[in-house]
Amino acid sequence: MVSTIKVYEKPVLQDPVLIEGLPGIGFVANIVALHLIQELKAKLFAEVRLSSFQDIAITANDGKVLFPTNEFYYYKGRNEEEQDLIILYGNTQALTTVGQYELCGRALDLAKEYGCRLVITLGGFRQDKKASVPPRLYCAASDYATLKEALVLGAEIIEGQIFGVAGLLIGLCKLWNMRGFCLLGETQGFYPDASAAHEVLHALRQMLHLNVDMSRLETAVEATREILRSFGIQSQPPEEKTNEPSYRWHV
């Protein structure tokens, strides 16, 4: 098995947007995705395991076994303005480059099956200096038309490299006939970075006309912090910047 996908439900979606929210810099994407899932009551409909995830199981203190996984949730817009969503959420990215491509290929295959034409990837954009208040937004896009939509949100053009699934999905989506768009919040990379997540969520809400309450964002931040803690990863004070853990978990 290179990868195995388990489909729990086959929703009927209209022109859904794929939102990527896997663990990464500052856990920005992870927080935003979790918040969207909780607030929109998005529903799990598929799950994917890759042979390039770690071969491990971790027991939470309630005895249940956790394991590396990526999940797909869907949300059907409640009115004409809101778009249907597919949210990619998980506790890990793939451990190898080959695995990252496999993961992105799987996600794009699945999204295409449901009629997706736009991919939005989220993340933190690491800056060495202290983040602005509020943190600045950065964007990049697969084409100029899409880029313009992002610039309207007040985001600046990224100059640099976008690592991992956030960059790869944007790079690959053209081959699936999709447009891609990457939205990153300025961060020093401390995790979980609530401020950067707030800014990214705010812009995403505007862009997709989503009616999402932001007041409970701290719940998702705390849940992410709790997950990290239960796996022995401490949240960091702003004073000591360290590297991200190369591998990340959630409940």
Which residues contribute to the site for a second copy (CB under 8 A)?
Answer: 1, 4, 6, 47, 49-59, 61-69, 95, 97-98, 100-102, 104-106, 139-144, 147, 151, 157-168, 170-172, 174-175, 180, 182
Cβ–Cβ under 8 Å, residues 73 and 17? no
State the nearest-atom distance from the C-beta of 138 to a second copy, in Å.
9
Buried b / exposed e across 170-204, counting CB within 10 Å, b at 16+? Answer: bebbeebebbbbbbbbbbbbbbbbbbbbbbbbbbb
Pick 81 or 143: Cβ nearer a second copy: 143
State the Cα–Cα distance between residues 176 and 101, nearest whole angstrom: 13
Pick 101 or 245: Cβ nearer a second copy: 101
Token representation of residue 216: 């409970």
Pick 55 or 128: Cβ nearer a second copy: 55
Going by C-alpha positions, the residue among 46, 55, 52, 47 that lies closest to residue 2 is: 52
State the Cα–Cα distance between residues 181 and 19, nearest whole angstrom: 10
State the nearest-atom distance from the C-beta of 44 to a second copy, in Å.
12
State the nearest-atom distance from the C-beta of 109 to a second copy, in Å.
8
Pick 138 or 191: Cβ nearer a second copy: 138
State the nearest-atom distance from the C-beta of 224 to a second copy, in Å.
20
Cβ–Cβ under 8 Å, residues 196 and 136? no
Pick 106 or 202: Cβ nearer a second copy: 106
State the nearest-atom distance from the C-beta of 127 to a second copy, in Å.
15
